[in-house]
């Protein structure tokens, strides 16, 4: 007798496993049998063990003689058509990826997106657009407790306040101050936690797209894995900064958007996915080998399902634009005469108008890219996003006074738009152009520049922001090494030997014969002997005399971290 026949006869002999019918033919209650099997019913297990062949098939016998019930094997078996005719296939009731017929991946919390170096900390220390660093993955060079120190609160320096009267020293910090911070965004994000954890209403980032031509050129061999590690490190702490009703928007293209969405599912939860917005930036293309690529993806997630979204603020005109007219502020209106005919534009400019709009969809066709848009708008880089794009996101996800964070600040578009719209903002950028591009742009905004969304927001100028930098003596030393002339390298070697950032891994033997090395060898050795864990000054060490932190900086850092005993 086969296993299906033997099991069927065994169960059919017990009335509790049967479905009552009007005829004399008994039918096994598959649902009941599955349910009691999942509860490891003693009676069922005993029944199965009484038959030696069934016991061998549905149990694993341990060396000590204990029989362990193979639940999944049993459930798969009774759902097989050979056993119960009403089960046409083992896959009848559910759809999903599985490792076998009953191990569904969506029910297995151990199933995640894996990649090389996923458990690493990637600093991402590029400061110039042309730099292509051999990136350091910190779990290779630091013990776990040292990595934690890398992400401790750090000291900020070079504080400046900008307002309509120009640049000033910062005497005190306000809770509502706008902040522009120069420094590694991973380190800065961790340093923001004490002041802003759970308070940021909106995060918008336009990170490197990993196209091979953008600024993300850290590691050729593991480029994709490097990008994922880079993003993961920063998104995890970004989530801590986000308010319970806040949302995050990530602007990408086809190169990484799908992987990023899986990563966001893991960090924020698939249930907290809000939208996958298609921004059709239009333009022209001469592509003859494929359909022309003319859109970005903007994926948005929340921290909880109780996120803020203002649909009324982002209504747009109907598609049939011939039936609508536009006022001097760019808003669209409709006016009927007594016979339900549309007035010509010139006949109702001074009439009482009715504002119409419809809900915004997730395909945005009405905001052209900077390359194809017309009119006056600040432009610093290729790929820069138009102010109207950021305006729509801010309108949808914030109210006036809410805090907005962009830790890939770039040219400063997010900060400029937030400033004009009366939102508090934090911008982080480590590239050296932050002072010549981002800060200069915001100074023009304060002066009342009229590009971008200035007209729609009736922007007249004003406001202020505070600028500061991560204190980073060791990184400054590395930069000195890279630009120093050959005759200055020996002086830098003497400086390194007496510094606080010399790696403890370095032994005296490595110092022998430095003068005999080639110029390139000297530069490489000088960069290698810097301890990666001392690139930045930890706030806990602010009073250490070796770091020479000024009294003014100490005061402002204590205020930033609310460490004044208040």
244 three-state secondary structure:
strand
| Domain 157-316+359-469 class in CATH | alpha beta
Residue 412's nearest CA partner among 392, 433, 382 is 433
Contact 130/432 with Cβ under 8 angstroms? no
Contact 515/521 with Cβ under 8 angstroms? no
Residue 542's nearest CA partner among 560, 523, 528 is 560
> Backbone dihedral region of 340: left (phi > 0), alpha (psi from -120 to 50 degrees) or beta?
left
For residues 87-102, one letter each, b for 16 or more C-beta atoms within 10 angstroms of the residue's C-beta and e for the rest, the string is: eeebeeeeeeeeeebb
Residue 117, number of CB atoms within 10 A of its CB: 19
540 three-state secondary structure:
helix
- Both tokens of residue 534? 């001392």
30 three-state secondary structure:
helix
Give dist(CA 156, CA 556) in Å, integer.
8
Question: What is the largest distance, in Å, between two alpha-carbon atoms of the chain?
Answer: 103
The H-assigned helical ranges of 401-550 are 413-420, 440-446, 473-483, 489-497, 519-528
Q: Which residues, including other chains, have CB under 8 Å from residue 442's CB and lie 6 or more apart?
A: 162, 180, 412, 415, 416, 419, 465
For residues 511-524, one letter each, b for 16 or more C-beta atoms within 10 angstroms of the residue's C-beta and e for the rest, the string is: eeebeeeeeeebbe
Residue 427: φ, ψ to 5° = -120, 135
> How distant is the alpha carbon of residue 524 from its chain centre?
34
55-99 tens-digit pLDDT: 988 999 888 888 899 888 888 777 665 555 443 344 444 455 565
474-505 tens-digit pLDDT: 777 777 888 888 888 888 888 877 776 676 55
The H-assigned helical ranges of 398-439 are 413-420
- Both tokens of residue 319? 């598609």
Strands 403-406 and 67-69: unpaired
Report domain extents, the chain: 3-107, 157-316+359-469, 321-355, 473-535
Check residue 181 and give its pLDDT.
97
Check residue 38 and give its pLDDT.
85
Dihedral sign from CA coordinates of 368, 372, 375, 381: positive
List, in sequence order, every residue forming a beta bridge with 179; answer none if it has no partner: 426, 466
- Both tokens of residue 307? 């996120």
Check residue 116 and give its pLDDT.
67
List, in sequence order, every residue forming a beta bridge with 526; answer none if it has no partner: none
Token pair 């420094």 is found at: 183
Residue 488: φ, ψ to 5° = -90, -10
Residue 414's nearest CA partner among 387, 436, 433 is 387
Give dist(CA 343, CA 375) in Å, integer.
29
Which residues of the chain have a pLDDT value below 50?
85-94, 101, 215-222, 320-322, 337-356, 566
Q: What is the DSSP letter of 436?
A: I
- Both tokens of residue 244? 């319970």
Strands 295-302 and 332-334: unpaired
Give dist(CA 296, CA 280) in Å, integer.
7
Contact 378/444 with Cβ under 8 angstroms? yes
Check residue 509 and give its pLDDT.
58
Give dist(CA 148, CA 542) in Å, integer.
17
Angle at 47 between CA 46 and CA 51, to 5 degrees: 105
Residue 415's nearest CA partner among 447, 448, 386, 438 is 438
Residue 301 belongs to what H/E stretch?
strand 295-302
18 three-state secondary structure:
strand
- Both tokens of residue 102? 């009953």
Q: Which residues, including other chains, have CB under 8 Å from residue 463's CB and lie 6 or more apart?
A: 163, 178, 419, 445, 446
Residue 45's nearest CA partner among 87, 10, 86 is 10
List, in sequence order, every residue forming a beta bridge with 180; answer none if it has no partner: 427, 467
142 three-state secondary structure:
coil
Check residue 118 and give its pLDDT.
75
Residue 445's nearest CA partner among 470, 424, 422, 463 is 463
273-300 tens-digit pLDDT: 999 999 998 766 677 778 888 899 999 9
Query: E strands within 241-294?
Result: 242-252, 273-280
Check residue 90 and give its pLDDT.
42
Q: Which residues, including other chains, have CB under 8 Å from residue 284's CB and lie 6 or more apart?
A: 372
Dihedral sign from CA coordinates of 59, 62, 64, 69: negative
Check residue 64 and give its pLDDT.
85
- Both tokens of residue 35? 């349910």
Q: Which residues, including other chains, have CB under 8 Å from residue 524's CB and lie 6 or more apart?
A: none
Give dist(CA 293, CA 278) in Å, integer.
12
First to last CA, the chain: 82
């Amino acid at each position: 007798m086969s296993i299906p026949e033997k099991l069927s006869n065994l169960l059919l002999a017990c009335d509790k496993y049967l479905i009552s019918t009007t005829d004399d033919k008994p039918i096994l209650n598959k649902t009941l049998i599955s349910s009691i099997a999942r509860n490891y019913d003693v009676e069922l297990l005993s029944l199965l063990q009484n038959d030696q062949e069934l016991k061998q098939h549905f149990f694993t016998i341990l060396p000590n003689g204990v029989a362990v019930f193979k639940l999944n094997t049993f459930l798969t078996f009774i759902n097989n058509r050979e056993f119960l005719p009403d089960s046409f296939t083992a896959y009848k009731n559910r759809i999903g990826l599985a490792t076998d017929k009953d191990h569904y991946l969506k029910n297995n919390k151990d199933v995640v997106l894996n990649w090389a170096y996923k458990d690493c900390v990637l600093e991402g220390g590029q400061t110039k657009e042309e730099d292509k660093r051999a990136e350091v993955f910190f779990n290779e060079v630091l013990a776990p407790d040292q990595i934690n120190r890398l992400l401790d609160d750090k000291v900020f320096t070079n504080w400046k306040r900008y307002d309509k009267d120009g640049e000033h020293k910062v005497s005190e910090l306000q809770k509502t101050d706008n902040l522009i911070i120069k420094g590694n965004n991973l380190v800065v994000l961790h340093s923001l936690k004490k002041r802003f954890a759970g308070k940021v209403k909106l995060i918008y980032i336009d990170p490197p797209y990993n196209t091979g031509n953008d600024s993300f050129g850290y590691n050729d061999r593991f480029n994709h894995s490097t990008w994922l590690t880079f993003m993961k490190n920063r998104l995890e702490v970004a989530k801590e900064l986000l308010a319970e009703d806040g949302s995050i928007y990530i602007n990408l293209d086809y190169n990484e958007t799908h992987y990023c969405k899986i990563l966001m599912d893991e960090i924020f939860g698939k249930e907290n996915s809000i939208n996958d917005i298609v921004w059709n930036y239009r333009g022209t293309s001469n592509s003859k080998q494929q359909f022309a690529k003319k859109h970005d993806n903007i994926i948005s997630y929340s921290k909880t399902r109780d996120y803020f979204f203002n649909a009324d603020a982002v209504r747009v005109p109907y598609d049939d634009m011939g039936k609508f007219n536009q006022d001097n502020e760019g808003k669209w209106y409709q006016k009927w005469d007594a016979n339900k005919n549309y007035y010509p534009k010139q006949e109702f400019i001074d009439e009482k108008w009715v504002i119409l709009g419809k809900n915004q969809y997730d395909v945005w066709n009405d905001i052209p890219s900077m390359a194809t848009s017309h009119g006056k708008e600040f432009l610093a880089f290729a790929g820069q996003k138009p102010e109207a794009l950021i305006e729509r996101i801010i309108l949808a996800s914030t109210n006036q006074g809410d805090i907005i964070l962009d830790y890939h600040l770039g040219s400063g578009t997010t900060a400029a738009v937030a400033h004009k719209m009366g939102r508090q903002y934090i911008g982080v950028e480590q590239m050296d152009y932050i002072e010549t591009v981002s800060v200069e742009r915001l100074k023009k905004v304060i002066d009342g520049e009229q590009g971008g969304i200035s007209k729609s927001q009736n922007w007249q100028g004003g406001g202020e922001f505070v600028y500061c930098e991560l204190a980073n003596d060791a990184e400054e030393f590395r930069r000195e090494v890279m630009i120093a002339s050959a005759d200055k390298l020996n002086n830098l070697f003497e400086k390194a030997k007496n510094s606080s950032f010399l790696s403890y891994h370095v032994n005296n033997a490595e110092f022998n014969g430095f003068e005999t090395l080639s110029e390139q060898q000297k530069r490489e050795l000088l960069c290698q002997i810097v301890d990666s864990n001392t690139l930045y000054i930890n706030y806990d060490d602010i009073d250490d005399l070796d770091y020479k932190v000024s009294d003014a900086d100490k005061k402002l850092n204590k205020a930033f971290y609310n460490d004044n005993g208040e």
